[in-house]
Structure 1
């Protein structure tokens, strides 16, 4: 209804009255054609709650509220502790008018002492009526027996005195109002001015849904809870579709991604009976399709995701429903081991379930346990599959569980909205949209439960509270590229926002920079595959970061926009055999770029010039890991490792430490672990050297194909299915594991490992305890960090062969 929310909340704050009168029925004086009726029972308690509710405070800041407040300004002078009826009508010129009915008390409307006031009186039908003007606002009021009746319209007040309200439907449903609630709202949809829609789907206007709705309200600092009933006297109203059906349990939240805009679910115990109601509601020329698809279905729903939608069927007998789809078995693709089929009847659901469903583009479908999902895009279907497998659906979220406390388990119709959808629903019922701050209202719900010849109604708009121990994992974005990925995604820093972005390369050697919201910022064709990880440098010492890396025959420096920084790329005739090493000895951005070619190391500065004076003449064997730099005290150590030798040099390439003992080294990095240079041997032993070159060996019982990663105090090793974190060894399921990653973030250590065979990502803490809600789906080692500077950590991994997934740990 036009201006409904603003009128409602302003009116609540202004008045109060008592309708419990043994001699006079206040409802007799309700003006005919009242669109909205508000019964306030406890004004003072309500005022306190209203003032502390963020959502209502936002609504009060809107232009619509301010305009209406001027019209209703006289009513703020009412002083009473009794209950109150507020009636809202529209006159013949489509102007809002109000009426107030309350118990007469001394000084109820004592305005004589106000400045700029004019009071006139006249007789109407032997009744004295006062016209009170305070500045520009006019109110007409009178007393009938023990009642005070006032209105903004002379005609409306006189009609109320002449004609007793005969709307028995309105009076009957008003009797169900709970006197113990702060206030109740009665919406009369028999009038042309009403709420436009309370549904995500605009094709269900509220005036076609029901006739009368009575809602008892509880408002507190964090929630608006509305409970009541609705009744349709007209058989053509949508709510009567559920007549002669028994509400079933709504389980659509179990498959709705938590990143969806919301969903609508409706249930029935018998499709044949429900179809009869549908046929009775539609016109004779409506299209019906005979199908056995819905015979075992008890719940149908719509998931909303931007401009895309998905139709969900929940079946009691999935095998029978699959049999009904035997003619729809054309596989389009396989996603995460689930078939995506083409569907040849895209208008089936609109033809069958309108006006509840008007979706005519269901071109794809998949069967997921007891659910059958039909969508207009494969991406939407893939998102649903991914979130279902990862258990990142609405039903897994604490904020959804919180609103379920105010809902019944079974319902005829359920609508759940995320913050942006809630904002849209509220604003489409206002003349002037408001920039409502609803981000903390993670899930809101509207529920109808049909019972005999009426339906119960529950509405929940509740602020979500973050729980520190929730630790849920949310799949935020899936970024699909045109070509399969060549490298694992890596995080780099955006020097403008200080947030993290993603770099990744595809098999055509295109390098991508992708924002943390999934937007591809640029794509650059490279002359070869990137070797190892990309480094970031500030070559001009101005805070702007560049990407530095090597391919087989080039060293690149790229700026923020993916452009080459002169004189790069440097071209090399001989192959570069290890990733680019970048050293900043004194943390003064005087970078050294080390290029490895077989047995040799070339040294350049950040401007691509050869650094003279580096005397290392090459190793006896092929270098098996990129050169590394360590600082111990005031001394620098450069390490170069081959299969049979370890060179520990100073800045100019001369030997600083001569390691004692002969070892066959693995291809694992060198670490500064417990103050010593530490790596592993080919046969899986841990070997360490102090700064005097003295060695020590520890048998870790690692196989030949092992991985090692450490911090200064924490060691992580993996061999086959055994993962060791500090002194604890975990036996994982047998699989094909990518190398473990160790992250030190906010004084906490995280260890991740990915089973490429089962596509599962595991995350542990430093005590080898697996974090909640892991494993999750992924196809590569992860990069973990705070990507967007909120309170939560995010990580990025490969999804399918050409996709990247960003997860958030809440």
Structure 2
């Protein structure tokens, strides 16, 4: 993965270069101090692949690339028929030098008719060389034993051509490379061009191994690498620490949040083995306290989130591991039902696992099934808990699943990074930061699998292709307010962008408008609690929307900047007892605002003036439902009810329909269902009134505490733990449920319900099928909509007491 640095530039440059086939003797001419060797058997294939690679194309504008392009301009002139090696090294003055090695053929180099080309013969240290100048760049070449050699300096060409040094380790690792891939790269770990493969710079390649050799397959959307790394030196991390260990199946991805920067994981079958190796490596007799916390651990993971870190221990016997922590069980807080404990040995992990673990000193931990998660960052622990509960870990992402297909299940060491960390690693290896973004590279991976004195290496950098439907439910935002939340959050429309934003109120009666990126746009103190749903209106008929709603003693109209729109708010001495009803009879923005106060209904226009001609005086009893407006067959109906009477009036308040029977009504809303005004009675019967006043009842066997939701053609009921959608019934676990909510979006029905007892939001289709990856964590009713301009739906709900959760259904 150092190709994610200096060598990537070489690859990009080769889209303007040449090469060819096979000769094992080429390795005999590699300079002794070569840092990087690139081998290819088909330069044209290499050129084509790199030219069409989205990833490598991002490097073509860097100054480092331009420097290589200038120095390797000579490659354009070569037409090899076989294998070709390009070697990079530093001279005594620490200047970059290159050499090219391939089998000589008459067609290899044709200088006839070349512009800007000059050559001359010279003798240097008793050797005949050709000095070539092309586009003001000079190189030297010769032929030795049918091998063509070219180099950027006379000393280097002399060293290469008279090289008697045979590095057996290099020869062996060279022979492990394939001729079938686009190219191969061999890296000397002591290379000055190589800094680090990892997020942690302390894990540099020179401390890790001796040589890395990988075959590279380049495609338009991916780069696959596989090969080996060799370490015979006992001072190297690979050979010393992982010696005699047996790689285990990595599971850190199962607890890593999808929005993390990535993770690193190392595994072993027996802790005693790696513990002994670490002692030997660090030349220490004792490196741990005698806690038995690690006795049943087979994997240690590090989760990265910005500058925060978390240590994960994967236990094969979580009961024994928990018992080993019996003295570390002081609960500091509880998050989503998970206890978070203090931890008194923050240096334990560095003392035990360095150099694999550095600068991580956790002071708290939590337990999630067989995972023990330690961190000094509470917000990271909470993020891990929430994503684990919501099943929105890295393992659930399609990008990671695609990456995982190219990896072995078990690793000695595994690094997985997102686009942000990938760019960070790349930036470490360039003097100038890359201007381009890597947003589509959301799960790149590097894997080492230890064997005797060497390890298999797999790496993948792949462009993520987002499918139309991923069926995942991801937590996009967790917005925390200063005070606890009073009511359910909902979406409102931003008329400037035609996207959705979030509006919510806290227990101090502050109203918030929050962008769909989580930014609080404004906060406004209200007189009291918002009643029901906030509506939007366009008072000035100019496309700019305002929020309209009632509190117990005010009617508000607020613009998108949080300012009151005059003459609102309207003040009311008597209590407003139902949510504000907003009617636009003819859809011409001549709004009517209906205010309910006990038995009375008051109608206002957008100037806060009472509407002349509305002559409904008073109901006989307290109105128990929000007045609603329906239009049916060209006629307007305003419908509401008291405990014993259903009122159906016209625009001016006159009775339009008198039901032919009366009953005791429930407190459930009124709906227009199958062209009839429909609600339920207190004893759970469905009652429908048609436009002639005819009354039909249906026994649905509902109890007194039932809940009702309906659209024009769909009826939804909840009775104890039985949810019925049309004729499809679902037996839910017993719990405390919100009223089911019905959403009709893009010709599809969604029914959502929240169990406040278990804090779970479930969503069903019209057939009663639970949607994939539900339930998720939530503590209130939800609002579902498409809040941005993609094809995915989002919903918002209450999380913890003071937090708002935004989920995406992918």
TM (norm. structure 2) is 0.95
Q: Is the 8 A contact 2:414 2:445 kept in 1?
A: yes
Aligned twin of 2:208: 209
Deviation digits for residues 473-506 of structure 1 (CA, Å, limit 9, x no counterpart):
1222222333222111111122222222222222
Q: What is the rounded CA distance, in whole Å, between the counterparts of 1:545 and 1:282 in structure 2? A: 67
Q: Which 4+ runs in 1 deviate beyond 4 A?
A: 283-288
Q: How does 1:173-212 map to 2 (within 5 A)?
A: 173-191=173-191, 193-212=192-211
How far 1:283 sits from its partner (Å)?
6.7
Deviation digits for residues 374-403 of structure 1 (CA, Å, limit 9, x no counterpart):
012222112212222222222233332322
How far 1:211 sits from its partner (Å)?
1.7
Aligned twin of 2:345: 345
Q: What is the rounded CA distance, in whole Å, between the counterparts of 1:320 and 1:284 in structure 2? A: 27
Aligned twin of 1:3: 6
Deviation digits for residues 284-336 of structure 1 (CA, Å, limit 9, x no counterpart):
69975443221221111101112221101112222221122111111011223
Deviation digits for residues 417-441 of structure 1 (CA, Å, limit 9, x no counterpart):
1222222222322222224443333
Aligned twin of 1:14: 17
Deviation digits for residues 658-713 of structure 1 (CA, Å, limit 9, x no counterpart):
33322222222222222222222222222222333233222222222222222211
Aligned twin of 2:652: 652
Aligned twin of 1:722: 722
Aligned twin of 1:226: 225
Aligned twin of 1:733: 733
Aligned twin of 1:477: 477
Q: What is the rounded CA distance, in whole Å, between the counterparts of 1:315 and 1:685 in structure 2? A: 54
Does 2:168 match 1:168?
Answer: yes
Aligned twin of 1:315: 315
Q: How does 1:755-766 map to 2 (within 5 A)?
A: 755-766=755-766
Q: Which moved more, 1:166-175 or 1:384-393?
A: 166-175
Q: What is the rounded CA distance, in whole Å, between the counterparts of 1:484 and 1:17 in structure 2? A: 68
Deviation digits for residues 240-290 of structure 1 (CA, Å, limit 9, x no counterpart):
311122222211112112221111111122223322322333376997544
* CA shift in 2, pair 1:574/1:497, >3 Å: same
Q: Is the 8 A contact 1:5 1:429 kept in 2?
A: no
Aligned twin of 1:51: 51
How far 1:183 sits from its partner (Å)?
1.0
Q: What is the rounded CA distance, in whole Å, between the counterparts of 1:352 and 1:518 in structure 2? A: 40
Aligned twin of 1:572: 572
How far 1:617 sits from its partner (Å)?
0.8
Aligned twin of 2:541: 541
Q: What is the rounded CA distance, in whole Å, between the counterparts of 2:462 and 2:577 in structure 1? A: 58
* CA shift in 2, pair 1:601/1:393, >3 Å: same
Q: What is the rounded CA distance, in whole Å, between the counterparts of 2:22 and 2:268 in structure 1? A: 39
Does 2:690 match 1:687?
Answer: no
How far 1:13 sits from its partner (Å)?
5.5
Q: Is the 8 A contact 1:650 1:656 kept in 2?
A: yes
Q: What is the rounded CA distance, in whole Å, between the counterparts of 1:520 and 1:292 in structure 2? A: 47
How far 1:651 sits from its partner (Å)?
2.0
Q: Is the 8 A contact 1:750 1:766 kept in 2?
A: yes
Q: Which moved more, 1:206-215 or 1:605-614?
A: 605-614
Gap runs ≥5 in structure 1? none
Q: What is the rounded CA distance, in whole Å, between the counterparts of 1:581 and 1:269 in structure 2? A: 66
Deviation digits for residues 703-755 of structure 1 (CA, Å, limit 9, x no counterpart):
22222222211121222122121122222222211000111111111111112
* CA shift in 2, pair 1:585/1:67, >3 Å: farther
How far 1:40 sits from its partner (Å)?
0.6
Aligned residue pair count: 806
Aligned twin of 1:770: 770
How far 1:578 sits from its partner (Å)?
0.6
SS at 1:150 equivalent: strand
* CA shift in 2, pair 1:236/1:803, >3 Å: same
Does 2:259 match 1:236?
Answer: no
SS at 1:157 equivalent: helix
Aligned twin of 1:118: 118
Does 2:564 match 1:561?
Answer: no
Q: Is the 8 A contact 1:568 1:608 kept in 2?
A: yes
Q: What is the rounded CA distance, in whole Å, between the counterparts of 1:288 and 1:737 in structure 2? A: 50
Does 2:138 match 1:138?
Answer: yes
Q: Is the 8 A contact 2:536 2:547 kept in 1?
A: yes
Q: Is the 8 A contact 1:311 1:373 kept in 2?
A: yes
Deviation digits for residues 119-169 of structure 1 (CA, Å, limit 9, x no counterpart):
111123444322222222222222122111112223221222233344333
* CA shift in 2, pair 1:758/1:284, >3 Å: closer
SS at 2:691 equivalent: coil
Q: How does 1:373-772 map to 2 (within 5 A)?
A: 373-468=373-468, 470-772=470-772
Q: Is the 8 A contact 1:210 1:238 kept in 2?
A: yes
Q: Which moved more, 1:516-525 or 1:115-124?
A: 516-525
How far 1:341 sits from its partner (Å)?
0.5
Does 2:30 match 1:27?
Answer: no
Q: What is the rounded CA distance, in whole Å, between the counterparts of 1:628 and 1:203 in structure 2? A: 66
* CA shift in 2, pair 1:214/1:12, >3 Å: farther
Deviation digits for residues 590-618 of structure 1 (CA, Å, limit 9, x no counterpart):
22211111111122222323322221112
Q: Is the 8 A contact 1:213 1:230 kept in 2?
A: yes
Q: Is the 8 A contact 1:27 1:165 kept in 2?
A: no
Q: What is the rounded CA distance, in whole Å, between the counterparts of 2:45 and 2:328 in structure 1? A: 59
Q: Is the 8 A contact 1:4 1:195 kept in 2?
A: no
Q: Which moved more, 1:601-610 or 1:139-148?
A: 601-610
Q: What is the rounded CA distance, in whole Å, between the counterparts of 2:373 and 2:569 in structure 1? A: 49
Q: Is the 8 A contact 2:190 2:205 kept in 1?
A: no
Aligned twin of 1:66: 66
Q: Is the 8 A contact 2:784 2:794 kept in 1?
A: yes
How far 1:16 sits from its partner (Å)?
1.4
Q: Which moved more, 1:8-17 or 1:797-806?
A: 8-17
How far 1:414 sits from its partner (Å)?
0.6
Q: Is the 8 A contact 1:685 1:702 kept in 2?
A: yes
Q: What is the rounded CA distance, in whole Å, between the counterparts of 1:231 and 1:134 in structure 2? A: 39
SS at 1:626 equivalent: coil
Q: Is the 8 A contact 2:121 2:131 kept in 1?
A: yes
Q: What is the rounded CA distance, in whole Å, between the counterparts of 1:239 and 1:15 in structure 2? A: 35
Does 2:248 match 1:252?
Answer: no
SS at 1:623 equivalent: coil
SS at 2:326 equivalent: coil
* CA shift in 2, pair 1:564/1:469, >3 Å: closer
Q: What is the rounded CA distance, in whole Å, between the counterparts of 1:337 and 1:67 in structure 2? A: 57
